[in-house]
Amino acid sequence: MSAIFVTPAEVNSLSDSHVIIDIRGHDEWRREHISDAHSLPLEDIKPGCLSDRSLSQIDTVIFHCQSGMRTEKSAEKLIASVYPAKALIMQGGLNAWKAAGYPVTTDRFQPLPLMRQVQMTAGALVLGGTLAGATLASTFYIIPGLVGAGLIFAGATGWCGMAKLLAVMPWNIQKK
């Protein structure tokens, strides 16, 4: 079965019963999400994972992510997870929803998504190491070199030490 793509306007105009599933990570969802959306990260989606909802052929499940790329790439997996219900994929994800002017629930007290924290930390280390190397001592150039090597390793293996370290920082620990 092929994926059926819908626009944010089509999703917003739906009046029948439907479920909106946000496939981004829990940290992304906690920071900002469509008000009616439920969080179910892509890595947790498997065939039948929504069986507790007793979905039937007349039910509709709408999936979205941040920009639409994750949902588009995972369309077959998403469709299989809600069978026999109808699966729709919202084009452009949360970004398109906001661009269309539809409301979102935002909690600025939640930490930034982990990957944004990694990008900011890596950028700060590279900038600081480069400036220190240029103005104080050339040995500081090792800092951006190590960060670059770490990013290459993370990209090649899928394991990011900086993300692991940031995930256990006090601001990222989810309070019960």
Q: What pLDDT, in 10s, does the model give residues 52-95?
A: 777 888 889 999 999 999 999 999 999 888 888 889 999 999 99
Question: In the prediction, which pLDDT does 175 show?
Answer: 64
Sign (positive/negative) of CA torsion 102, 105, 108, 114? negative
| Residue 155 banded pLDDT, cuts 50, 70, 90 | very high
Average of per-residue pLDDT values in the chain: 91
Coil, strand or helix at 36: coil
Amino acid at 119: Q
The dotted CATH code for 4-106 is 3.40.250.10
Active-site annotation holds for 160: no
- Checking DSSP bridges between strand 18-22 and strand 104-106, what pairing results, if any? unpaired
Query: What distance in Å separates the CA atoms of residue 72 and residue 88, rounded to the nearest whole number?
Result: 10
Query: What distance in Å separates the CA atoms of residue 99 and residue 92, rounded to the nearest whole number?
Result: 9
Please choose, from the candidates 91, 67, 65, the residue with its C-alpha nearest in 3D space to the C-alpha of residue 3: 91
User: What is the average per-residue pLDDT within 41-48?
Assistant: 88
pLDDT at 38 > cutoff 80: yes
The full set of domain ranges for the chain reads 4-106, 114-172
Question: In the prediction, which pLDDT does 137 show?
Answer: 97
Question: In the prediction, which pLDDT does 163 show?
Answer: 92
Element (H, E) at 12: helix 8-13
Q: Indicate which residue of 65, 85, 89, 147 is catalytic.
A: 65
Question: In the prediction, which pLDDT does 156 show?
Answer: 94
Q: What are the tens digits of pLDDT across the range 101-144?
A: 999 999 888 888 888 899 999 999 999 999 999 999 999 999 99
**Cα-Cα-Cα-Cα dihedral of 50, 2, 104, 59, to 10°?**
-50
Query: What distance in Å separates the CA atoms of residue 110 and residue 108, rounded to the nearest whole number?
Result: 5
Q: Is the pTM of this model over 0.85?
A: no
